[in-house]
A and B are shown apart, each in its own frame.
Chain A
């Protein structure tokens, strides 16, 4: 666990926060939206569990427009 100790969390925090905001916005949108491009629960799994890319994939392909 030396690795985790050696990391300066002040530097990484913004990245983590950005990722959290993206997930939160995607989930809020998914709940509010009338119909997604496919089953909503699948999109929820994608947003929550595909690290980094999940919310982006949802915003590009998941919203019907």
Chain B
């Protein structure tokens, strides 16, 4: 376990040296908090842009607090996912491409620990960024609209977090058999997009799909009824995360590193 800690500490140190610990949380906060703010100020924004005849009265339906927070959640699943893929696509592939992996892995390093240390450090960075930003967004919604029950917030946080975890794990999986970070990013995004489109267009066939977790997370904050498929899709996701991680280790062991 000593060696795992060494590998893990190296990842954490790297993330602070390249400022990921600063810019990733801050970026997440910006994309999350932006949504309730723009929704709240929408009438003024439209007004200031002009283009409406003098005296016209704008009647916009005032969004509910749930809608405002759901808007943040949807940001995590577009911009947030994009950033997650971009920051993890090179974590192993980049080290192999540059050649430093060749220096490290001729040491008696456990392949399983190498992969899981990478995974764990990415997870910590992303979960902390995600929590901070989503929490602040919840707070803003509370101040500008009305407070949503903290329990509902937490539940939606965890359900959507499982989907983000699956994304991190899939990106790590592609990292283990591709040498180019660009290719890893491209294929990961492709798979996430296809899975999301399929799941939302064929929800009856793929109701247990992990890609629907974000839709299910919405149910908590919108106060609507919880779908019966929530639990099965969580179970499917956890199984997929575990399998991907195991596959990553198995593939990585067999790869030639040169």
Using a CB–CB cutoff of 8 Å, the interface residues on chain A facing chain B are 2-3, 6-7, 11-12, 14-15, 18-19, 21-22, 25-26, 29, 52, 55-56, 59-60, 63, 65
Known A-B contacts A3-B47, A60-B86; A21 and B26 likewise in contact (beta carbons under 8 Å): yes
Using a CB–CB cutoff of 8 Å, the interface residues on chain B facing chain A are 18-20, 22-23, 26-27, 29-30, 33-34, 37, 41, 44-45, 47-48, 83, 86-87, 90, 94, 136, 140, 143-144
Give A18 to B23 CA distance when docked, in angstroms: 9
Give A18 to B137 CA distance when docked, in angstroms: 14
Known A-B contacts A3-B47, A52-B30; A21 and B22 likewise in contact (beta carbons under 8 Å): yes
Q: Are A12 and B37 in contact (CB under 8 A)?
A: yes
How many A-B contacts at CB < 8 Å in the complex?
52
Give A63 to B27 CA distance when docked, in angstroms: 17
Q: Are B140 and A11 in contact (CB under 8 A)?
A: yes
Q: A62 CB to closest chain B CB, in angstroms?
A: 11
Closest A-chain residue to B87, C-beta based? A60
Q: Are B44 and A29 in contact (CB under 8 A)?
A: no
Please tell me which one of the listed residues A6, A52, A59 contacts residue B19 in the complex, with CB atoms under 8 A apart.
A59
Interfacial chain B residues near A55, Cβ < 8 Å: 23
Q: Are A29 and B19 in contact (CB under 8 A)?
A: yes
Q: Are B44 and A3 in contact (CB under 8 A)?
A: yes
Closest A-chain residue to B143, C-beta based? A11
The 9 A-B residue pairs whose C-beta atoms are closest, nearest first, are A3-B48, A59-B23, A3-B44, A60-B86, A18-B26, A56-B27, A25-B22, A22-B26, A6-B44
Most chain A CB neighbours (cut-off 10 Å) among B30, B86, B140? B30
Closest A-chain residue to B30, C-beta based? A18
Interfacial chain B residues near A15, Cβ < 8 Å: 30, 33-34, 37
Give A6 to B140 CA distance when docked, in angstroms: 17
Q: Are A56 and B41 in contact (CB under 8 A)?
A: no
Q: Are B140 and A7 in contact (CB under 8 A)?
A: no
Closest A-chain residue to B48, C-beta based? A3
Q: Are B94 and A65 in contact (CB under 8 A)?
A: yes
Give A1 to B47 CA distance when docked, in angstroms: 11
Give A48 to B94 CA distance when docked, in angstroms: 28
